[in-house]
Structure 1
């Protein structure tokens, strides 16, 4: 699947069923946090930072929270209540593409509490410049 389509993910994005989803980019190296900050600044995304997270708005009404990790992983979460319908899903697709291309690594999504690097339902592949469904809804 090259494009991210609402019909493919609608069931996973049910706003009443586990609205927070976790994401990661694995294997990015020890300077991952600095690279995220650099990407956010380069894109001009609105941001706020505190001791535990780096909050970013890649688009109006679309919040991504990044969390500093101890290893070479970029961790973040999204709220699917902000991403209902194809137009809003396109914002997520653009964000995942930017992140994947910035690191040259796949960007995986899963439900909150699961390890996205081990149990993704979806990932962006920067080599193919497309999205892959890792399992059916």
Structure 2
């Protein structure tokens, strides 16, 4: 049984309502949590690309990424947990893992399942909640997320808004 059903959450996957790139985040993280994410990406054999600015590089340790000077170019990790599904992580702070997904890639029940799978894998590995808000929205008002105590992705807001 899927965590969420398309017919019940399709508004949360509507780019016109949520923005094409909603914000997904794991609050209260550390360099060790980022390293756990890097290890997860490699253990699952997800396709990935790491760049600093426009330069593609091998994936360093999280400690190396966050030891770079404050004025260094932005470090970005792109992962494809499934073909056609991209998550973009920008390593701005060790205190929060945040990333974007493209809702245009996540349509129908297969898209819902792909997002739920990604959020659950990250949340389980970290033992932390993973939440999604509308693009540019306040983190105080997530619409859905992985809840570790329930071991599943749940809605955190009313999906029936118009």
Distance in 1 between residues matched to 2:102 and 2:116, nearest whole Å = 14
Number of residue pairs matched?
A: 135
Distance in 1 between residues matched to 2:79 and 2:31, nearest whole Å = 21
Instruction: State the 4+ residue runs in structure 1 displaced beyond 3 angstroms.
Output: none
Q: What are the superposed Cα offsets for residues 25-63 of structure 1, whole Å, 9 maximum, x if unpaired?
A: 112323232222111001100000112310000000000
Asked whether the 8 Å contact 1:25–1:74 carries over to 2, the reply is yes
Q: Counterparts in 2 of 1:34-53, with a 5 A limit?
A: 34-51=35-52, 52-53=75-76
Deviation at 1:123, TM superposition (A): 1.1
Range with greater deviation from structure 2 (26-35 or 67-76): 26-35
Q: Normalising by structure 2, report the TM-score.
A: 0.77
What's the counterpart of residue 4 of structure 1?
A: 4
Q: What are the superposed Cα offsets for residues 2-41 of structure 1, whole Å, 9 maximum, x if unpaired?
A: 8121122201212344111110111232323222211100
Please identify which structure carries the higher helix content.
Answer: 2
The structure with more radius of gyration: 2
Deviation at 1:136, TM superposition (A): 1.1
Please identify which structure carries the higher strand content.
Answer: 1
Deviation at 1:82, TM superposition (A): 0.3
Deviation at 1:94, TM superposition (A): 0.8
Q: CA RMSD in A?
A: 1.6
Query: Which residue of the other structure, out of 131, 134, 151, is the alignment partner of 1:129?
Result: 151
What's the counterpart of residue 24 of structure 1?
A: 25
Q: Normalising by structure 1, report the TM-score.
A: 0.90
What's the counterpart of residue 62 of structure 1?
A: 85
